[in-house]
Amino acid sequence: MNDLLIQHIGQLLLPKKTDRPLKGKELDELKIIEDGTVVVKDGRIIYAGPFTEDYEARQTIDATGKVVSPSLVDAHTHLVHGGSREHEMSLKRQGASYLEILEQGGGIHSTVRATREASEEELFRKSEYHLLTMMHHGVLAVESKSGYGLDKENELKQLRVSHALADKYKLDMKHTFLGPHAVPKGREGHAFLEEMIAILPDVKEYADFADIFCETGVFTIDESRYYMQKAKEAGFRVKIHADEIDPLGGLELAIEEDAISADHLVAASDRGKEMLKNSDTVAVLLPGTTFYLGKNDYADARGMLDNNGAIAVATDFNPGSCVTNNLQMVMAIAALKLKLTPNEIWNAVTVNAAKAIGLEAGTIDAGDKANLVIWHAPNHEYIPYHYGINHAEKVIKDGKVIVDRDLSIEV
């Protein structure tokens, strides 16, 4: 007997399973089946397609008028961190830039202090709440970065918390070491970078990827290249925070070093975007960050796709420059500001987001994990259209309903 049968699905979204990320025009290709059926047994998909009465199951869900999709993948988060920085909003309103706040001892430095002061248990409880919020919004695969310790003890503390969360909730989670996220006050940049390189063998037990913040006032292109090469020698796939503020050539560097992703890319050069066509490096775009920082210029998603590049969309959830863990909200910003089509958005937060963090996720094919979302929405365009709320009605993990949002109220 099968475990779960979802019948009469209004729209069943079936992103294409590939061995590489979807690129260029492929991102706008999304198979949509009306009046669909999904069948689950032993936590795996055994059928996903047009309506059929060929299957029975212990549990049947009628999804008439609903959308069913793969669960979402958030490919860039700073999930584990101490403290918060709501006091910086007044500085932003007065026109202070991100780098100016950083120079005043705020920004990352403020979060580093709070993260160092927090116990492992305190960090776990705080991060658990944020993770559960993500899951309630339909996310069942997450990339979680360190980067708020800036020393061996506290970077490892962040990564251990990240692993503890993944273990407790049995999530598809990837862990990224971002030791070179900022240069600590009073330290010289290259000497600090050497310190982060020296602990790569220690963090290898806990981290899947090594990342670096390549930006004016942080780490240069040459320093970033040196770090990425050392990280690869230590056995890591590499990532890079690149071209967020200034066009330093971080996207080009990512492609040259075969990074699995290059993230932010608001100021990416035309040459970098052109190089994407010959690369499987995924450009992970974070429009929620641009929105929160009050910037007018967003990453050139259309230019990247026109150059046959691969893009994904993620939250960049963090306490300073993008304080949301609602990927649905970011999907709306991607529609409005990145000018992405609904099909492109869905592929960017499922199959391509999974490719950006090296996961087999984001599809609903026979044999896949039955990680699904049933959306209270008439069609897939509605979810980024009606922004700022949670449309996830049921979240299904390994074939079991783990979130069931009953919005009825007794009066």
* Binding-site sequence positions for Zn(2+): 76, 78, 241, 316
Q: What is the pLDDT of residue 221?
A: 98
Q: Is 177 helix (H, G, I), strand (E, B) or coil?
A: strand
**Given a cut of 80, is residue 8 above it in pLDDT?**
yes
Q: What is the pLDDT of residue 88?
A: 86
**Given a cut of 80, is residue 209 above it in pLDDT?**
yes
**Given a cut of 80, is residue 102 above it in pLDDT?**
no
Tally of CA atoms within 13 A in the half-sphere of 238 that contains its CB:
30
Q: What is the pLDDT of residue 186?
A: 86
The Cα–Cα gap between 316 and 284 comes to 10
The pTM for the full model equals 0.97
160 in Cβ contact with 206 (< 8 Å): yes
β-strand 31-41 against 2-14: which pairing, if any? antiparallel
* Binding-site sequence positions for Fe(3+): 76, 78, 241, 316
Tell me the per-residue pLDDT of 46-92, one tens digit each, with 9 for 90 and over: 999 999 999 999 999 999 999 999 999 999 999 999 999 998 888 87
Q: Which residue has the tokens 């049968």?
A: 5
- Name the pLDDT band for 408 (thresholds 50, 70, 90): confident
The Cα–Cα gap between 242 and 158 comes to 22
* Binding-site sequence positions: 76, 78, 85, 148, 181, 241, 244, 316, 318, 320-321
What string of H, E and C letters represents the secondary structure of 111-135? HHHHHHHCCHHHHHHHHHHHHHHHH
The Cα–Cα gap between 135 and 150 comes to 28
Query: Which of 183, 157, 174 is closest to 81 using CA atoms?
Result: 157
Q: What is the pLDDT of residue 262?
A: 98
**Burial of 46: CB neighbours in 10 Å, binned 0-12, 13-18, 19+:** middle
Q: Cβ atoms within 10 A of the Cβ of 279, count?
A: 21
Q: What is the pLDDT of residue 101?
A: 79
The Cα–Cα gap between 288 and 330 comes to 6
The Cα–Cα gap between 86 and 317 comes to 14
- Which pair of structure tokens corresponds to residue 299? 């990453």
Integer CA distances (angstroms), 210 to 132, 175, 245, 250, in order: 25, 9, 21, 15
H or E element at residue 197: helix 189-198
168, amino acid identity: K
Q: What is the mean pLDDT of residues 5-9?
A: 98
The Cα–Cα gap between 97 and 103 comes to 10
The Cα–Cα gap between 384 and 67 comes to 13
The Cα–Cα gap between 344 and 334 comes to 10
Q: What is the mean pLDDT of residues 217-234?
A: 97
For the chain, the first-to-last Cα distance in angstroms comes to: 40
Q: Is 141 helix (H, G, I), strand (E, B) or coil?
A: strand
374 in Cβ contact with 396 (< 8 Å): yes
The Cα–Cα gap between 95 and 12 comes to 45
* Binding-site sequence positions for 4-imidazolone-5-propanoate: 85, 148, 181, 244, 321
46, amino acid identity: I
76 in Cβ contact with 284 (< 8 Å): yes
The Cα–Cα gap between 33 and 387 comes to 24
Q: What is the mean pLDDT of residues 157-180?
A: 98
The Cα–Cα gap between 301 and 278 comes to 17
Q: What is the pLDDT of residue 97?
A: 78
The Cα–Cα gap between 179 and 153 comes to 11
Q: Which residues pair with 223 in a beta bridge?
A: none
* Binding-site sequence positions for N-formimidoyl-L-glutamate: 148, 318, 320
Tell me the per-residue pLDDT of 186-206, one tens digit each, with 9 for 90 and over: 899 999 999 999 999 999 999
Which residues in 208-229 are b (16+ Cβ under 10 Å) and which e?
bbbbbbbbeebbbeebbbbbbe
Instruction: Calculate the CA dihedral of residues 230, 236, 242, 244 and round it to 10 degrees.
Output: -130
The Cα–Cα gap between 193 and 187 comes to 10
- Listed range (49-53, 135-139, 181-185, 300-304) with the worst mean pLDDT: 181-185
Instruction: Calculate the CA dihedral of residues 133, 135, 136, 139 and round it to 10 degrees.
Output: 110
